[in-house]
Amino acid sequence: MQVRFTRLAATLALGSLAAVAGPSQAETVKLSQKSGTEREVTELSQGWKFHFGPETPAVTAPDFQDDGWQTVSVPHTWNRIGTYAPARTPDTGNAQGTGWYRLTVAAPAAAPDMRQYLDFAAVGAVADVWVNGKHVGTHKGAFSRFRLDVTDAWKAGADNLIVVRADNSKPEPGNATSSVIPLGGDFFVHGGIYRNVSLLQLPSASIDPLDYGGPGTYARAAQVTESQAVIDVRTRLRNAGTGRNLTLTTQITDAKGSIVATAAQPVSLEKGTADVAQRLTIKSPHRWNGRADPYMYAVSATLSDGATVLDKVTQPLGIRTFRFDPDAGFFLNGQHVKLKGVSRHQDWLGSGWALTPEQHRKDMELIEELGANTIRQAHYQHADAWSDLADEAGMVVWAEIPYVSGPSLTGGEGTPQLWANAEQQLRELIRQDFNHPAVMMWSIGNEVDSSAMLGVSKEPTKPLALLKRLQEVAKEEDPSRPTTMADCCEDLGMMAKTAGEQVVGTADLVGYNRYYGWYYPKPLEARAELGAQLDKFHVKHPQLPISVSEYGAGGAVSQHSDDVTSGFVNFIGRPHPEEYEAWVHEQTWPAIAARDFVFASWVWNMFDFASDLRGEGDSIDLNDKGLVTADRKVRKDAFWFYKVAWSDTPAIHFAGKHYVARAYPVMTVKAYANAPAARLVINGRTIGEAPCPDNVCEWKQVPLAPGPNKAVVTATANGETVSDEMTWTGPDPMKQGIRIDAGNLAGSVLGKRQFGSDTFVTGGKPMVLNLGGFGKMTSGPPRTVEAAELRLFDYWRQGTDFSYGIPVPDGDWTVTLHLFEPSAVPPETQAVTVKANGTNVLDALNVAKAAGGSRKELVRSFPVQVSGGLLSLDFNAVGGNVSLAAIEVAR
């Protein structure tokens, strides 16, 4: 069958696979292939034997007994990590170490001058390869393609044994990954042969397959005008035999396959490698113009010996011009484009890194649906198929190497071996992705000024020297594209963790990873703080184009908030209400959109992704900042915010659709619309029209009837009316009561009692009992409270003076307060007073004394009579604080 060889973008003939009887030690896979004027490539996907764990040296021998090993297909990873549960399940596969793969194949015959290459699209993270017992090569780096010339060990037309050792051990001083980037980071490095493997047969003289895993042919538009485009093509040739006189012919075809330019050049090719430069001209070029028109040509380089074609490689070509201006932003083909997009990690829930083409395609479809026009490929080189899709979709791509969180495990600048590995991975990235028109910047590092924060090194690291070297390498490889980097810590008081080195300005561009409203949680100030900081950076670095490379918040679709401004924001623990994540994006995006000098922004992240540092929200081993869940099944509220805000056509969508059973008889109804105003109707009754500043429309204190409440929202923009519907279930306070989990950003259900999040409150401060720690659930010995329901005391509200105004139907009620004293040494003079509707119900109460000690629950109940639909509760303390865990109002 004919397929398109990704990354090389060449049309290749793939062999069929058939399992046949073979040696007693393993199955033999018989391979066949089609020969012709294209490369001969045979897929090696079926029949691999796999074992995780240490093995004896005999594992590389043909007579090694692997009968008990697992039979797997490639792509394959032994890691399955991340689940939407509070603790790891038996299915969790987070093992790091060595995995072994064995494949015995009946190889096709080959002419005497043919060379045999094994092509690995990626192996995580260090790969050693043996053929017929002979070690043929090592590759260090989990993300890039590598090829090995195995001719000397290969037996054409006979059985061949391929053995691969994959090692994804966590980097530790002296082990196999200690000098391989990344040394750390907030993502899990999966092990295995997680991308495709193939056998490549080429004549002894060919286009070079060993050029850092690149295609060997590299094209760029040197000059572009409306009348013509001048295309420079460089092709690297390799000759393993004697000198030969050959011809290199390069053709450019348009999207219909018509030839638009040709250059032919005689080549005297001696043994070794040689670069051939050619210049071609295309008349009236059709430009690759991003999402509007991602038009592509193709460049084919053909090496011939007279009438005999020796080798041919075809690459994508997108003709475009672009520039980054420190004041005006990004320009594509002379037109200003605000780059608005997402970052993406490559794992799927249940699949790890072993993705199928369909999974890559689904990811791109979701990003296109969102309305993005740019993607940050974080924090490493992504799959061939993914870069092809980015070209075809017209996405502007930030491509990145995994220089993450510092250069050393022990402090300092890093070892020569690590420097060499970083340089190798950067050269691989640039050569393998060079021909993708979508790629417009090379990132040389991510948060390299945060090593101590992520636990990479306890001693201060010095990331600047390696960063400067990588800048030099990027310019050597590709002076036509700018470099960039993502900064963690400038002006955040964290610079001492990297020996005080200032890294911003090393690359041509900069992206700032900034989480206002999340890691620095002042919810009501997030928009203003981000805007002020961006303005400050613009003044501080007037010649440096600036972007926001990460921003966002955690969001769990099973955890919900009734008031995102009242509860404790536990960014490294639980809960992570979906509504709060959306609110952070609602605050952040307008600050970015208002500043033309911010050339781009990338939401962190498009999808929830695997990280064994995390135990947060409603999941374990997942970073839950995605706009979509890790299984790609649920679009969160924040997704819909951007889909509406970034849409070119009128659109509207209700937020809060996953929070169906509401805790309170009133709610804030929110919708996203790209219209000036929207109208809300609930249960056939018009609530009214609300403005929609920055695409957010809100109706506060909307009453809900017990049971189903059908809501319809409509808006008109540009003469077109759009609408959305939702049904929320309102509680019946007369039967269920009303309950508030004080201090908690999310509500919860305890048995048959539903508690809403901290709402209807003025004053005081939300507090947490056990603050989570990054990489672990608690930052120290957990404090405990003696209480009937300990979960009610995870959070509380504290202060000398605060009040609640709770919507309660008229009538007689019983109010129950859950109080405690969190101080280890109870204040002797504490006197707490509580008023209900202006009347003292608790007077001069010392909570610790009444409870019999510190950190013991004190429950107090009292009757109240409500008229006017509102219950007022006023809390006041002298000589200490009021510490309130929960309020229950029941009949």
For the record, the structure tokens of 315 come out as 């690459």
Residue labelled with tokens 């002797």: 828
For the record, the structure tokens of 722 come out as 């759009």
Consecutive H or E run containing 128: strand 126-131
Does 447 participate in catalysis according to the annotation?
yes
- What are the Cα distances from residue 305, in Å, to 239, 268, 311, 886? 13, 11, 10, 84
The residues that bridge with 138 in the sheet, in sequence order, are 128
Cα distance between residue 482 and residue 331, in whole Å: 13
Any alpha helices (H) in 48-205, and if so which ranges? none
Asked if residues 715 and 721 have their Cβ atoms less than 8 Å apart, the reply is yes
- What is the DSSP track for 388-415? HHHHHHT-EEEEE---BS-S-SSSBS--
Q: Which residues contact 152 (CB under 8 A, 6 or more apart)?
A: 134
Any alpha helices (H) in 478-575, and if so which ranges? 526-540
Given CA atoms 611, 614, 615, 619 in this order, what sign does their dihedral have?
negative
Cα distance between residue 88 and residue 81, in whole Å: 9
Q: Which of 400, 447, 490, 550 is catalytic?
A: 447
How far from each other are the two terminal CA atoms of the chain, in whole angstroms?
73
Long-range pairs, 16-22, Cβ under 8 A, ≥24: 17/43, 17/45, 17/46, 17/47, 19/46, 19/47, 20/106, 22/104, 22/106, 22/159
Residue labelled with tokens 């799927």: 348
Q: Tell me, what amino acid is at 721?
A: T
Q: Give me the phi and psi of 101, to 5 degrees please.
A: -130, 135
- What are the Cα distances from residue 190, in Å, to 121, 130, 344, 353, 495? 14, 22, 16, 7, 30
- Across 570-590, b (16+ Cβ under 10 Å) vs e yields bbbbbbbbbbbbbbbbbbbbb
Cα distance between residue 628 and residue 626, in whole Å: 5
Neighbours of 559 (CB within 10 A): 25
At CA 600, angle to CA 346 and CA 500, rounded to 5?
85
DSSP-based three-state secondary structure for 685? strand
The residues that bridge with 754 in the sheet, in sequence order, are 749
Cis ω on the peptide bond leading into residue 881 (within 30° of 0)? no
Asked if residues 663 and 739 have their Cβ atoms less than 8 Å apart, the reply is yes
Cα distance between residue 448 and residue 428, in whole Å: 20
Q: Which residues contact 659 (CB under 8 A, 6 or more apart)?
A: 560, 578, 579, 728
Please identify every residue annotated as catalytic: 447
